[in-house]
Structure 1
Amino acid sequence: MTPTQDKLERIFELQEKLNLKIGVDPKSMDQESKMQWLLNYTRAISQELAELVDCIPWKWWAKYQKPDLQNARVEVVDLLHFLVSTAQLLDMSADDLFEAYTKKHLVNVKRIDGGYHSKDENDCKHI
């Protein structure tokens, strides 16, 4: 990592290299291949979420369960791998993701501050 490189940019760079190692190159994919990989990544995200749930004692009535916080952290990192890969398939850079995140964050704050009484289909069109 260079002294001026931001951490999110580095994550995107590392993920691109990892994906290239397994033959996933969004820059050379046709639309059909991208859609298949988006589905693959979405399924992987779903599985990683299930694994994260398994790390947390979700049965509040079961006293025998113990949290596995170390593995929960690993599952969060696995989720990040697949989320970054998904962003890259959608032609998003680290800067694009950051910009979209900050815009969506403002929408979420506005919703919370306003009580979020109804869904506005247009409040995310600018993202």
Structure 2
Amino acid sequence: MDKLETIFALQKKLDDKIIEERQIDKNVADWVLGITVAMDSEIEEIRQLLPWKWWKNEKEIDMEELRKEVIDLWHFLPSLSMKVGLTAEDVYNMYMKKNQENHDRQDGKSSKEGYAVKATESALK
């Protein structure tokens, strides 16, 4: 079992435990909505650790806390993936395909509009 499969298996075990102990009965739409709201909350917690307020004195980033919040997001990603029917292998395969597509777009090898890199004047000289 690879690392991503291990993460999925551990998250499934945790999700199953929570669902059973709390007697949760939701449909896919409710799960997707709930998980994405939880992810929004985690993203907000990440944002609050960053010095984005230009009207305040900058603060040092607490990297340990920032890493913990990022890992909180990683708990929700496998849950969301599994709720929509994706396995760890599906995630890997679809990621690889989409990653190549994103590179192709950046390299001008895509018919999708809006990704062409415009040459700057200094690059033309």
- In the TM superposition, residue 62 of structure 1 has moved relative to its aligned partner by 3.2
Change over 3 Å in CA distance of 1:50–1:118 after alignment to 2 = same
Change over 3 Å in CA distance of 1:99–1:115 after alignment to 2 = closer
| One of 4, 7, 30 as aligned partner of 1:8 | 4
Distance 2:49 2:15 in 1: 27
Give yes or no for the alignment of 1:80 onto 2:74: yes
Q: Tell me the residue number matched to 1:21.
A: 17
Distance 1:59 1:110 in 2: 36
- In the TM superposition, residue 115 of structure 1 has moved relative to its aligned partner by 8.7
Distance 1:43 1:18 in 2: 19
Asked if 2 retains the 8 angstrom alpha-carbon contact of 1:57 and 1:67, the reply is yes
Q: Give the CA RMSD over aligned residues.
A: 2.3
Larger Rg: 2
TM-score by length of 1: 0.77
3-state SS in 1 of match to 2:107: helix
Give yes or no for the alignment of 1:93 onto 2:77: no
Unpaired segments ≥5 residues, structure 1: 121-127
Aligned pairs for 1:37-116 within 5 A: 37-60=31-54, 62-114=56-108
State the 4+ residue runs in structure 1 displaced beyond 3 angstroms.
none
Asked if 2 retains the 8 angstrom alpha-carbon contact of 1:56 and 1:69, the reply is no
TM-score by length of 2: 0.78
Distance 1:61 1:115 in 2: 42
Change over 3 Å in CA distance of 1:61–1:113 after alignment to 2 = farther
